[in-house]
Amino acid sequence: MLFSKSCPSKILIVCVAALLTSAVSTMSTPAFSETVVTTYVTKVQEERKSTRWTLTEWLKIKERMKMMDVWLAMFSSPKKDSFNPELNIEYSLVRGNIGVKGAGGRENYGSISGNQTRAQFWMTNLVTAATGLKTLNIDFGVEAYGKQMGSYSQSSEKTVASFAIPGQEQELTTESIDENRESEAKYYSANFRIFGKSIQDSSLVLKYGQYVNETSIPNLEADQPTKSVKGTMRGADLNLYLFSFLGFEGNYMQYGNAADANQPDGYFGTYYDYGAFIEVSLLRFTLGNYKETGIYSIKDEEVTTEETGVIGGLKLQF
């Protein structure tokens, strides 16, 4: 019994002595000792740091998970698996002023009014419904646009000789003459909605198509023929909802490019409008400002037009 009780103590003493001997022999070389200690501390700290829970790291992970959910929702929307066509019809009234400038300091100014019509047809969720593939939130549509402007009164003065009595000098009188100017423009475009799930959602729309413009507005002389120009157009629409019933919208169009204005009978124009809207069910009431500029090449003369005013209208969104 004495031997059995003292034996574990002896074994423990031998083990401790062996560990001390190993440690002393290891620490006998200073450089090796420092390397072992440094490596041990570095590895332990890296491991502990990688498994450490912190509030900031948890918030970062949560934010990344939220972004992943957003991207997943963009690629997959169970509520939009079926083909859901949409129709947007718009009618607007335009009131403004216009200035026409030509070579030699010739200028004309007047008031102008007219209307705009626009129809958009959206094949919402067509790709996913037809192929079953989950795509980004991109929808394809087509658009037809028309603008008719008139009542542009170019006031000018003309000297007229009245009938004279024989033997007397002719009497010269001056009268004011109004020369009406009119313009009719239209375009057809393919539209891509790259943001927004429907026509009644905050959205960004890109468009590209063909335009035709027949106008007598840039004519500085009454006997000039109506000018007809056509080419490619590009544009973008932005809709931003502040509340479920109130928001802002903006439209931009570019007709041709700057180099086209230098060509014979060339034309380059831009148009934009911006304003606020109020929605009541399918109806949207809009009111805002617009500006349209144009550069025409008429008989080797550059004529510029600038039109600004107010635009207000009504949209039906089916």
Q: Residue 141 carries which side chain, given as an amino acid letter?
A: G
What CATH number was assigned to the domain covering residues 82-317? 2.40.128
pLDDT in tens, 71-113: 666 555 555 457 788 999 999 999 999 888 887 777 778 888 9
Residues 205, 237 contacting (CB under 8 angstroms):
yes
pLDDT at residue 105 in the model: 72
- Average pLDDT of the residues of the chain: 77
Strands 139-161 and 107-124: what pairing? Answer: antiparallel
* Full-model pTM: 0.66
- pLDDT tens-digit map of 185-231: 999 999 999 888 888 888 999 999 999 998 888 877 766 778 888 89
Q: Given a cut of 60, is residue 250 above it in pLDDT?
A: yes
The residues spanned by each domain of the chain are 8-52, 82-317
CA distance 284 to 120: 15
Comparing CA positions, the residue from 132, 172, 179 lying closest to residue 153 is: 179
pLDDT at 52 over 60: yes
Residue with tokens 């001997």: 21
